[in-house]
Amino acid sequence: MAQIKIDTLTKEFPGGVVAVNALNLDVPHGSFMALLGPSGCGKTTTMNMVSGLEQPTSGEIYFDDEPITRVSPGSRNVGFVFQNYAIFTHMTVYDNIGFGLKIRKGGLSKAERHAEVQRIAEIVGLSGSLDRKAGRLSVNDMQKVALGRSMIVKPAIFLLDEPFSNLDAAFRAYMRAELKRIQHEIGQTMVYVTHDQVEAMSMADRIAVMNLGELQQYGTPDEIYNRPRNRFVAGFVGSTQMNFLPAALAPSLAEDGRVDGVTLGIRPEALDLVPTDDPRALLRASVVLVEPLGPKDIVHLEVEGRPVRVVAPPGRRPRVGDNVGVACDTKRVHRFDDETDLTI
């Protein structure tokens, strides 16, 4: 177990591309930290510098106050799980999970190894498949093997790079809960790289949102979702994207009266469809499209030529072309400065 400190870390690739720019992050001991951002934001480069696969151009990384940028990857005591599970397909699940212990010199006795393999198999949910050849398993179970293989050597830091992105949706939902629970049980520091905001929100204690090599915000899921620092973070997190409207379209929502150069950010679930003559209707809109998702609908509206999405229960589904009023939970309106994109 270890804490990670990233100090003004910069990575510039030949040709002048700055993949990571002066990044500062503190990952406390035992926490589950997600590096979240779109492709090309620098999250994988950051992780590669933590693992030692890339050397930073400048800056330093500390594990428990020890600088490690000049330590070789093999000596950093870091465990990996990648998107493409790295396992030995010709070996049994048992031998795959036990491999890291076996090759370690001066390690555990055979009986101790056996007990440890059993314990890890139990944690990752493979107790019933220990004798099977890893190559014969489902894609889902192969990823569990990869997880177990990394866990057994008890790395100080666990790095996971989009480990679930090749798995089907139902299994991803299952593994999200399992991994979070596993992390709580083993208490190891985990850094989890993902472009999927649902994974970051649901599992992590803290999320570092990156874009174009720059850290946008570092905070708890609650802070990232409810108090985004800027328009990028606000728009990136949330399963249906936040609506952005010029404040001039709804001056009643501008609490300090400032309308010029201000954009309002309103999450689709903070809006509600009401009759046009309802006193709560702050905006008038027409229905462009209805997307039924099962438990809820996403209703696409047009407000003075601008798209607005509302998440609504499917019970009173409007029809395309209907005129509707839009009510808004005014306490849940975010405001952004158009110059800086920062939250006001």
Among 4, 49, 311, 327, binds other proteins (CB under 8 A): 311
140 binds other proteins (CB under 8 A): no
Among 5, 11, 267, 334, binds other proteins (CB under 8 A): 267
72 binds other proteins (CB under 8 A): no
Q: How does strand 157-161 pair with strand 78-81?
A: parallel
The SS3 of residue 334 is strand
C-alpha distances out from residue 49 to 44, 157, 195, 325, Å: 9, 13, 18, 51
300 binds other proteins (CB under 8 A): yes
Q: Which helix (H) or strand (E) holds 51?
A: helix 43-51
Stretch that binds other proteins, among 53-61, 63-71, 155-163, 195-203 (CB under 8 A): 195-203
Residue 36: CB atoms within 10 Å: 28
335 contacts 269 by C-beta, under 8 angstroms: no
Stretch that binds other proteins, among 22-30, 49-57, 196-204, 208-216 (CB under 8 A): 196-204
Q: How does strand 17-27 pair with strand 271-274?
A: unpaired
Count of chain residues binding other proteins (CB under 8 A)? 44
The SS3 of residue 282 is coil
Among 94, 164, 218, 236, binds other proteins (CB under 8 A): 236
Among 295, 316, 319, 321, binds other proteins (CB under 8 A): 295
Q: Which is nearer to other proteins, 114 or 317 (CB)?
A: 317
Residue 258: CB atoms within 10 Å: 13
Q: Which of residues 155-184 bind other proteins (CB under 8 A)?
A: 168-170, 173-174, 176-177, 180-181, 184
267 contacts 238 by C-beta, under 8 angstroms: yes
Among 102, 292, 302, 338, binds other proteins (CB under 8 A): 292
Residue corresponding to tokens 């100090």 = 7
CA 144 from chain centre, in angstroms, equals: 19
Q: State the minimum distance, in angstroms, from the CB of residue 183 to other proteins.
A: 10
- Please give the residue ranges that form the binding site for other proteins (CB under 8 A): 38-39, 168-170, 173-174, 176-177, 180-181, 184, 195-198, 201-203, 221-222, 225-226, 235-241, 267, 269, 288-289, 291-295, 298, 300, 311, 314, 320
